[in-house]
Amino acid sequence: MNQFTLAAVNFAWLPILPLIAVTLGAIVVMLVGPNVDDEDSAGLGLVALMTVLAAFVLTLFTLGQNSLAFGGALAVDDYSGFFELVILAATAVTIGMSLDYAADEGLAGAEYYALILFAALGMMLMAAAGDLIIIFLGLETMSIAVYALVGFMRRDPRSNEAALKYFLLGAFSTGFLLYGIALVYGATGTIRLDPVRAAISGGMASNPLLLMGLGMMLIGFGFKVAAVPFHMWTPDAYEGAPTPITAFMAVGVKLAAFAGFLRIFLVHLGPLSAQWSDVLWVIAVLTMTVGNVVALVQANIKRMLAYSAIAHAGYVIVGMAAASSHQAGGAILYYLLGYSFTNLGAFAVVVALERHGEVRDRITDFRGLARTHPALAAAMALFMLSLAGVPPLAGFVGKFYLFSAALNAGLVWLVIIAAINSAISVYYYTRVIVEMYAREGEGVSVKRIGTRPALLLSLAVGVAGTILIGLFPQPYMSASASAFASATSRPALKTTALLR
């Protein structure tokens, strides 16, 4: 205990300060909650927003390090920093969308914001995990909070159904993941990721227990990122959840799941990539194709965006299948970055359309929007074009980066399939644009965006991200590449002193 010097504490606690901040914020919101009238709960939302922004700033201070904390349980590197920052930004935007929406839909209450913060905490843990148990802990913290959020509209049967489905399938998939972790532990004798990697390089590569464990974990993550054939829950859960929560799931949950997925498979099981990249090849093709083809016939915008999210997971998995290319990691991170901003923006438009007591999530509800609300329609068109991969927006440059990584790994056919998929997707994205611009219609009346500053800000973040990340990609590409590199290039087992 004598070695427990102040300097060591300062250094070791710094990386988890953002996590602590989010936890504290969540607890404060929860404790204060019962004393606040439901009508004033927007104030709680602001507290949550402040918490997230504080955590964002704190995370910025953790950048540039590359070590392990808590005996290897947490990885302090730019990879976790990158994901934490994007997750926190997504959380902030989610809260921004919710402020007005929650009051309007009668979701008021401290639990709503506290759960969002807890979910964000779980996501950040997944991003920063240095061992398998932390990944599992993060996944559960996130998932349980999100299950509750999906079912938050207690009087809406769709919301209830969504929560139940999501919960049952989610619990099932968690079981797979945990089983996989147990098998890997059994095979290697450790749950720390760095030793697992060392064990694999040291000749464990064809251990059947290890391979079974890998397969199980693949299934578990497959559920969370909504890869085909583990995607069944996605459309129902996305449709039934309150719309800001749908956005949170499509972006935050997906980011966190990919953070864990990539860290385990791409970073630490990289030496084994020959064993799993063919499987991912197949999963990528299935995920893209099913996502895009089924999205074609959706009449509900949230379901359409759900299938679109599935398809985009497929593109990311194309990048994972290209693990042997040095570009793959950077490409995936960059792609996820662009995807996040674009999708958040698209959901913000859906939120803007909804109004108390009225469900406006059919694609035909967008009819005539360009006439009644030209700016909103233009923003939606921008997001749809970015998702469809039209240059020079973020979605296009992301695809460009991913495809070039996959070609670099020699996956020519996979890229051709992805390109054809991309062309298919143009149909359903442009359908929204056609509804807004070309079809004659009344157009729904939308509550003035100007009176909803938080929502306006969320939209603005989406628009700015979609344009800037696409038009001036260089800094974001470098950041993505170096973030991924920091996870792969950690000096072996350089842990900090605390709790060793």
Between CA 158 and CA 412 the distance in angstroms is 42
- Pair 116, 94: CB distance under 8 Å: yes
| Spatial CA neighbour of 187 closest among 205, 206, 210, 203 | 210
Which residue, 143 or 386, has its beta carbon nearer to another protein? 386
DSSP structural state of residue 300: B
Would you say 275 or 404 has its CB closer to another protein? 404
Residue 456 DSSP SS3: helix
Give which of 493, 16, 484, 489 is closest to 262, Cα–Cα: 484
Cα–Cα separations (whole angstroms), residue 241 to 90, 156, 251, 347, 446: 17, 10, 14, 12, 21
CB of 395 to another protein, least distance (A): 12
How many whole angstroms separate alpha carbon 78 and alpha carbon 328?
16
CB of 317 to another protein, least distance (A): 18
Name, in order, each residue with C-beta under 8 angstroms of 442's C-beta and a sequence gap of 6 or more: 367, 368
Could you tell me the smallest distance in angstroms from the CB atom of residue 22 to another protein? Answer: 33
Instruction: Please identify, using beta-carbon distances, which residue of 171 and 296 lies nearer to another protein.
Output: 296
The contact set with another protein (CB under 8 A) reads 370-371, 374, 385, 389-392, 396-397, 400, 403-404, 407-408, 412, 415-416, 419-420, 422-423, 426-427, 430, 433-434, 437-439, 473-474, 477-478, 481
| Residue 32 or 426 having the CB closest to another protein | 426
Nearer to another protein, 134 or 415 (CB): 415
Nearest distance, CB of residue 330 and another protein, angstroms: 9
- CB 337, min distance to another protein, A: 15
Return the number of the residue (65 or 327) whose C-beta is nearest another protein.
327
Q: Which is closer to another protein, CB of 20 or CB of 423?
A: 423
Shortest gap between Cβ of 297 and another protein (angstroms)? 14
Neighbouring-strand partners of residue 67: 76
For residue 490, give the DSSP letter: P
Determine contact, residues 166/154, Cβ cutoff 8 Å.
no
Nearest distance, CB of residue 426 and another protein, angstroms: 5
Q: How far is the CB of 487 from another protein (least distance, A)?
A: 19
CA distances from 203 to 199, 208, 249, 272 (A): 7, 12, 39, 11
* Of 57 and 420, CB closest to another protein: 420
Q: Which two tokens stand for residue 385?
A: 């074009």
Cβ atoms of 183 and 216 within 8 Å: the answer is: yes
